[in-house]
Amino acid sequence: MALLIREIAQLVDGELSGDGEQLITSAAALSEAGPGQLAFIGELRNADSSAYTSAGCLIVPKSTRSKFEGATIAVDNPKFAFAKAASALHPRKDLPAGIHPTAEIADSAEISEGVFVGAFCFVGENSVVGSGTHLQAGARVGSGVRIGKDCTIHPGVTIEDGAVIGSRVVLKAGAVIGSKGFGFVRDGELLIKFPQIGTVVIEDDVEIGANSCVDRGALGETRIGAGTKIDNLVQIAHNVQIGKRVVIAALSGVSGSVVIGDDCVVGGQVGFADHTTIESGAVIGAKSAVFPGKQVRKGVWAGIPVIPLPEYKRLNAHIRSLPKLRKEVQNLGELVNRLESLFRGRK
């Protein structure tokens, strides 16, 4: 998709300098951009590097003194503005509406107008697929599923029975939505599966990465709030409640009945034990662990178990000083031994 520079400036609410009638066809990195491409400068200290780009237009921070001779668009947050413009320049590929002859669609399923159903897809009984949605090759939709408008269901995705998917949701390849949760009851040497008969609700504008799993609720629902973005290889267990605009990086695991509030950020490989509560706005550093029943307040946390970041930094500083402390203790021990020898020699 191509846009005039003045159209991009209007889209990102920026201040245009230079020729706004040039056509921009794509976005690119600053060092690689050529004529007809959009690039950006994220920080004022990088302004000098703009003199060496061949981009057709630059998005720059306000008040910057760029050496770039072409058109610029000044904004408060260049990276955000660039991402917004790039989304417009590179929209979702519009696949033609239709059902591939190898797809299997139940007679009672409802496929709305403008839906693309790829090769070897399956849609079960009484399921509804909203207009403009793409079911790419090999996607499987169970019975009684509700999928909203303009969703992108990538190859190999499985949506189990009864799941509810909002509009503009992206499920990447291999994601599994609504599988039975990992819940067992022990009686002596016997383990019995606890009922996993709830559902999953994925709200609007959620993205779930490749090979991630969101389990259905045991008796209630697992819910992912609107605008949340989940990376690849993330496990969301039964009855988890995740708020709006949450970001969870790859390889994290969220145990059953965890509550994560709005606007939280979770680093990679974070582990959440069951029944923990993460308050809105909390940031959890990579490789951290949240122990059972813990309530994490707003702020930045890290460690195993998680503690506030300033405390974590202090502990790390102490740990790094342990070799020096060990040597000092050894020296003190040797000194005590010599003093004891001298004292015994004077008796």
For the chain, 347 residues long, give each residue's pLDDT as a single digit of tens. Answer: 899 999 999 999 999 999 999 999 999 999 899 999 999 998 766 666 666 789 999 999 998 777 788 999 999 999 999 999 999 999 998 899 999 999 999 999 999 999 999 999 999 999 999 999 999 999 999 999 999 999 999 999 999 999 999 999 999 999 999 999 999 999 999 999 999 999 999 999 999 999 999 999 999 999 999 999 999 999 999 999 999 999 999 999 999 999 999 999 999 999 999 999 999 999 999 999 999 999 999 999 999 999 999 999 999 898 898 999 999 999 999 999 988 888 887 76
CA distance 42 to 58: 10
Burial (CB < 10 A; 0-12, 13-18, 19+), residue 73, is buried
Long-range Cβ pairs for the range 301-309 (8 Å, 24+): 309/285
CA distance 52 to 292: 53
* Catalytic residue annotation: 238
- Is residue 312 within a helix (H) or strand (E), and if so which, with residue range? helix 309-320
pLDDT at residue 1, as a whole number: 84
> Domain 3-89: which CATH class?
alpha beta
Q: What is the CATH number of domain 98-309?
A: 2.160.10.10
Strands 295-296 and 199-202: unpaired
Decide if 3-89 and 98-309 have a common fold.
no
pLDDT at residue 75, as a whole number: 96
Q: Please count the residues of the chain.
A: 347
* Per-domain boundaries in the chain: 3-89, 98-309, 317-347
